[in-house]
Chains A and B, each alone.
Chain A
Amino acid sequence: MPRIDSKTISQATKFSRFLPWLLRASRGSIVEAKKELRWIKSELPRSKWERACQARHRLVPLQYILGSQPFAHDLTIKCRPNVLIPRNDTEDWCVELEQILCDIRKPLKALDVCSGSGCISLSLVSSRAKFSHVYGIDVSRDALELANENLRINSHQLQRSNPKCIMKYVRGDILNEKLSEILGTGAKSWDIIVSNPPYITVDELASSSLEKSVKLYEPMLALEGDLEFYDELVKLTIEAQARAFVFELGNIRQAKRVAELLHLKDSSWIFGIRRDSGGIRNVIGWKRDSEFTSLDKLCHEQLQ
């Protein structure tokens, strides 16, 4: 954490007595701090400004302080401790994915594994792409409760784009349960699996690559994970008889693992990876000759 010089602090004080509190989280950038102050002022009642700014000084995520994060087109995703905050990087691929899926006429069945706040599944259903069933699975009760709240508060947007889609969030532990144990008879015949599982390795957790605010305030259950999750996601994809998937990830090993395992089971899969400004972000797969071949538009590179 760079130290903030006294000149910046006095400049901030001149603008507003609240602003200096916000400098730490914005790494000394007055421009960023001013934006946060404007958001705090426009979204919270005056009586809460002071405590909000002080909380931000302790690096509490702004999304927990304000209680929400906008996502995709016009969703409001409620946020609170114990559930991961939706990321801009996730929003990016969700929006790109929707634009590809909306060319497919038949309403799709999609599974959102490790659904957390529900942001991915909710953004899909609120898009122009067509869905008949979208289920989310998560092990955390807090996450499920929040996803259901988010389903309710965004029902208008969901109704507008996919009025007939059946959505629900189901509790399940993908490391210890098969899909048939989680969904019963409904485990088969899904079209596409999307997932943003915990992918930060133990080594990374110990290093400085993790933002302090994440480490201090977001749930470890949502962050810490590695190949074991991708192994299970592959099994689940096979069990669900899906023909396509998009997984978010943090490194190339995870992408390669998915491609290797799935290729062993069925050589008709094609794989690609997608990058963003932070580096590799997704592994994507589809069955040759399926309706999902246009997913190659999401990919920056083929895998294998």
Chain B
Amino acid sequence: MTEELKELESRMSDGKTFNVEDAKKFSRLSSFTTVYQEYLGEKSNYEGLVSMANDPEDVDLQAEAKLELEESIPKMDKLASGVTSKLLPPHEFSDRGCILELRPGAGGQEAMIFTQDLLTMYYKYAQVHRWKCEILSQNESTSGGLVDGSLLIDHPGAYDRLRHEAGVHRVQRVPQTEVKGRVHTSTAAVVVLPKIEEGADEGERKFAGDELRIDVMRASGSGGQHVNTTESAVRITHIPTGIVVINQDERSQHKNKAKALMVLRARLAEKERLEKVQKERAERRDQVSSTDRSDKIRTYNFSQNRVTDHRCGLSLHDLSGCMNGESLDQVIDAVEAKETELQSLRLIEDLEHVNK
């Protein structure tokens, strides 16, 4: 890989035959080598320390080296996993913002309240990071909680971080309305979509004239000067796929339309990505489908002040910190590390396969 980089470098200095593909490759490779060099540096530092620590001549030096080793080892671990994650192909939408769509699952009223809690958690999480964040829609139930809700986190890379949140979240707690103090279990589902820009970037998606059906939803007949209604809901149907997006939260019909289009683009992009992933899995007859989409990914246990992520096995005993967005990162870090581990195992398997 270092050689490939060298070749690219020399081609670049020639100032010829350097195209967009090369530029992308170059930036990937060079960011890999930076991490790799750092790793090698730390490794030789580590080796030096080890030999010092074993030096029978100098006892003082021995003690000092041992102290430094304690710092060096975790550093090296971190760099090593950095190297593996750089080796793995980046996720398709890793540089994008995201849209989170939340819906209550089993558990009636409690599930709706939990859906609201999750929406708040992600909103606060975005605030903690100072990421631009906007509630796209929240459909309140008359008796509290949300029938559905969605949130736009308009920050590059938010998708890559939050894609691990997709799946079924489970809550165990005593509802406020529960007189007997019994613990209820209910769920909410989270969908994570990439934000696709409307502008001229490469992920852009243009719609043909007959691909969309746009309806404004209005009760009365003749429109125009005859009505001054506040109804501003817009429904967009994507005819080829049958996907329907409704937006009605803004007073401006024009904004509702723009938001609905953004959500439609996001759903289409995610749908296409999932189809691609499935196809790739089928091609390699991948049986280790790591997590089924219908599986619960995480449990929030209120009476034990505990959040457990079932994918990586982490239990965090700071539920309130998680729910106000501050320690959610600890959970995501653990899930991310697990993903990298699984992926590198797979990479090694693949390599061995090729070598045979």
- What are 29 of the A-B contact pairs (CB < 8 Å)? A27-B219, A34-B140, A63-B228, A63-B230, A70-B251, A72-B254, A85-B228, A87-B225, A88-B232, A91-B252, A91-B254, A92-B216, A95-B254, A200-B226, A209-B222, A209-B226, A211-B226, A211-B227, A213-B228, A214-B226, A218-B228, A250-B226, A276-B216, A276-B223, A277-B218, A278-B222, A278-B224, A278-B226, A279-B222
Q: Is the CB of B253 within 8 A of A61?
A: no
Contact B252 A70, beta carbon cutoff 8 Å: yes
Of A39, A84, A88, A200, which is in contact with the most chain B CB atoms at under 10 Å from its CB?
A88
Closest chain B residue, CB of each to CB of A34: B140
Contact with B along A1-41 (1 / 0, CB 8 A): 00000000001101100000000010100101011100100
Instruction: State in angstroms the CA–CA spacing of A61 and B227 once bound together.
Output: 10
Q: What is the interface of chain B mostly: helix, strand, loop, or mixed?
A: loop
Q: Contact: B222 with A87, CB < 8 Å?
A: no
Chain B, residue nearest A249 (CB): B224
B225 partner, pick from A12, A32, A62, A198, beta carbons under 8 A: A198
Interface membership of chain A positions 66-89, coded 1 if the CB is closer than 8 angstroms to chain B and 0 otherwise: 000111110000000000110111
Task: List the count of A-B residue pairs having beta carbons below 8 Å apart.
Answer: 99
Bitwise interface map of A from 221 to 263 toward B, beta carbon under 8 Å scored 1, else 0: 0110000000000000000000000001010000000000000
B220 in the interface (beta carbon within 8 A): yes
The verdict on A39 contacting B251 (CB below 8 Å), with A63-B228, A214-B228 known, is: yes
Complex contact B142–A14 (CB within 8 A):
yes
- Asked if B142 and A223 make an inter-chain contact with CB atoms under 8 angstroms apart, the answer reads no
Q: Is the CB of B228 within 8 A of A211?
A: yes
A25 to B230, CA, bound (A): 9
Residues of chain A whose beta carbon lies under 8 Å from any beta carbon of chain B: 11-12, 14-15, 25, 27, 30, 32, 34-36, 39, 61-63, 69-73, 84-85, 87-92, 95, 196, 198-200, 204, 209-211, 213-214, 218, 222-223, 248, 250, 276-279, 281
Nearest to A72 among chain B residues (CB) is B254
In the complex, per-residue mask of B193-236: 1 if CB is within 8 Å of any chain A CB, else 0: 00000000000000000000001101111111111111110000
- Known A-B contacts A35-B230, A70-B251, A73-B254; the reply to A87 vs B219 at CB < 8 A is no
- Minimum CB–CB distance for B214 against chain A, Å: 10
Chain A residue at smallest Cβ distance from B231: A32
Asked if B220 and A211 sit within 8 Å, CB to CB, the answer is yes
Q: Which residue of chain B lies nearest to A218 when distances are taken between CB atoms in the complex?
A: B228
